[in-house]
Amino acid sequence: MEKTRKWRYGINRWIILLLLIALVVIMVFVPRIQPHIQVAPENVSHGPLFSLPVLGDFYLTNTLVAMVLMDIILLGIGYAVYRTIKKGDLVPHGLAGAMEALLEVIYNLTESSAGKWARKIFPYFATISLMVVVSNLMEMLPGVDSIGVLEESPHGNPLWVMIPGFMAAVVQGSAEHLGEGYVVVPYVRVLSTDLNFTAALAVVSVAMTQVIGFQAQGWRYLIKFFNFTTLISKPVFGLIDLLVGLLEIISEFSKVLSFTFRLFGNIFAGSVLLFLLGSMLPFLQSGMMLFEFFIGMIQAVVFGMLTMIFMSQATHGHGAEEHHE
C-alpha cells in the first residue's frame, strides 16, 4: 500500500515538473500576442439577424451568447434540484444540498432585514445574486474570452504572430496577408463586461424597489419624494422636507448609475488584468484567476444584498411622515 502511494506521488511530481517545463518553453518560444481590449461587445454575426423599425439592426454579440449560456446553466441547476426534490429525499445531497444551503442563507438575511416582506423580496435577491455569480464566474471557463475568429483590424497583430498563439481558432487568409493586422473576436465574452447587461439589471433592481414600496405603503410611498405635508403648517421645515424629497429622487437615479458601473467596472477591470498578465507574465495568471473568482463572488453578493436592503427600506414609512403622525 505504501509503495503504491509513493509511486503515485512520484508520478504527480513528474507531471508537475513537465507542466512547468512546458510553461517555460511556451513563454520563451511562443510569440507574445498583444491582447485586443474593447469596451463594447463584438459582433459574432457578420450581418444583422433582423431589423426593428425604431431600434435598428440586431446583431448576435458575444455577450448575448454568454447570456444564453448563463440561462442554460441556471435552468440546468434548477432542473437538477427539481429532480432531487422529486425523488423525495429528506436530506438533499450534492448540488441540491448546496443550493438549499445557499438559498437558506439568502432567505435568512432577507427575513432579518425585511421581516414580513421577506417572501416578496427574497426572489429578487436570490435571482439577481445567482445571475450575477454565474455570469461573473464564466470568466473561469476555458474558451471564454480566448477562443474566437480572426478579424482584420488596423490595431491588431500580424498573422504570423497570431497563428502559433492558442487564442486563434479560425485562420482564413493567404501568404500575402501575413503582415496585416488581426485580432481575435471571441465567441463568448463575460456577460458582466457588457454595460447593457449591468444597466438593465440596475434598472430592474431600482424599478422593482419602487414597485415593492407601492405594494407596502400604497400612494403614501410618494411622500418620500414629494412631501408637502408640512409646507403650510411649518413652512421652514416643510421646505426642508420638500428639498429632501427632491434629493431622494436624485438618489434613486444615482442608484442605477452606481449599480451599473460598480459591477461593470470591477469585472471589466479584472478581465483586462487577466489579458495583460496572460500576454506578459503567464505564470501569474492562475493566481490572478483565483483572485477574480473571489471578486466575482463578492460583486454578486453586493449587488443582490444592496437590492434587498433598498427594497426593505422601501417597505418602511418615511421618517418625517411617521414623526408627524
Quote the distance between the C-alpha of residue 33 and its chain's center: 26
pLDDT at 320: 41
Residues 130 and 312 sit within 8 Å (Cβ to Cβ): no
Residue 155 phi, psi dihedral angles, 5° rounding: -105, 15
Write the pLDDT tens digit of every residue in 282-293: 666 667 778 888
> Measured between alpha carbons, how far is residue 19 from residues 5, 13, 27, 142 in Å?
21, 10, 12, 17
Report domain extents, the chain: 61-145+192-324, 146-187
With cut-offs at 50, 70 and 90, classify the pLDDT of residue 87. confident
pLDDT at 161: 55
Q: Residue with C-alpha cell 495568471?
A: 285
pLDDT at 169: 42
Residues 303 and 295 sit within 8 Å (Cβ to Cβ): no
Q: Where would I find the H helices in 54-194? A: 62-86, 95-114, 118-137, 159-162
For 217-246, what is the mean pLDDT? 77
- 26 sits in which H/E element: helix 2-29
Grid coordinates representing 211?
Answer: 414597485
Choose the most confident range, by mean pLDDT, from 27-31, 66-70, 270-274. Answer: 66-70
Grid coordinates representing 228?
Answer: 408637502
pLDDT at 28: 64
DSSP 30: S
A 10 A CB-CB count for 224 gives 23
Grid coordinates representing 262?
Answer: 460598480
The Cα–Cα gap between 199 and 268 comes to 14
Residues 126 and 103 sit within 8 Å (Cβ to Cβ): yes
Write the pLDDT tens digit of every residue in 38-61: 888 888 877 777 787 877 778 888
**Would the pLDDT of 139 be above 90?**
no
Residue 178 phi, psi dihedral angles, 5° rounding: -65, -30
Task: Name every residue whose Cβ is closer than 8 Å to that of residue 222 and which is 6 or more positions away in sequence.
Answer: none
Q: Residue with C-alpha cell 505564470?
A: 283
Residue 88 phi, psi dihedral angles, 5° rounding: 85, 20
The Cα–Cα gap between 69 and 135 comes to 9
**Would the pLDDT of 80 be above 80?**
yes
Grid coordinates representing 296?
Answer: 466575482
**Would the pLDDT of 118 be above 70?**
yes
For 308-318, what is the mean pLDDT? 84
Nearest to 50 by CA among 59, 37, 61: 59
Q: Residue with C-alpha cell 508537475?
A: 16
DSSP 226: -
A 10 A CB-CB count for 92 gives 16
